[in-house]
Amino acid sequence: MKDCIFCRIIKGEIPKQFDFESDVLVVFPDINPSADIHLLIVPKQHIEAIESIEKEHARLLFEVYQTVSSLVAKNNLKDNFYRVVVNGGKAQHVPHLHFHLLGGQWKKMV
Ligand code: AMP
C-alpha span between 31 and 77 (Å, rounded): 20
Task: Summarize the confidence of residues 3-24 as an average pLDDT.
Answer: 97
Domain ranges of the chain: 5-106
Domain at 5-106, CATH homologous superfamily:
HIT-like (3.30.428.10)
**Residue 30 CB less than 6 A away from ligand 1:** yes
Backbone angles phi, psi at 19, to 5 degrees: -75, -30
**Residue 58 CB less than 6 A away from ligand 1:** no
96 noted as active-site residue = no
pLDDT in tens, 25-78: 999 999 999 999 999 999 999 999 999 999 999 999 999 999 999 999 999 999
The model's pTM: 0.97
C-alpha span between 40 and 101 (Å, rounded): 6
Kindly provide the b/e burial profile for residues 52-65, where b requires at least 16 CB atoms within 10 angstroms of the residue's own CB: eeeeebeebeebbe
Q: Is the pLDDT of residue 1 over 90?
A: no
| Residue % of the chain over a pLDDT of 70 | 100
C-alpha span between 87 and 79 (Å, rounded): 25
Task: Summarize the confidence of residues 67-93 as an average pLDDT.
Answer: 96
C-alpha span between 81 and 12 (Å, rounded): 33
CA 75-76-77 angle, 5° bins: 90
Q: Is the pLDDT of residue 2 over 80?
A: no
Amino acid identity for residue 53 in this structure: I
**Residue 93 CB less than 6 A away from ligand 1:** yes
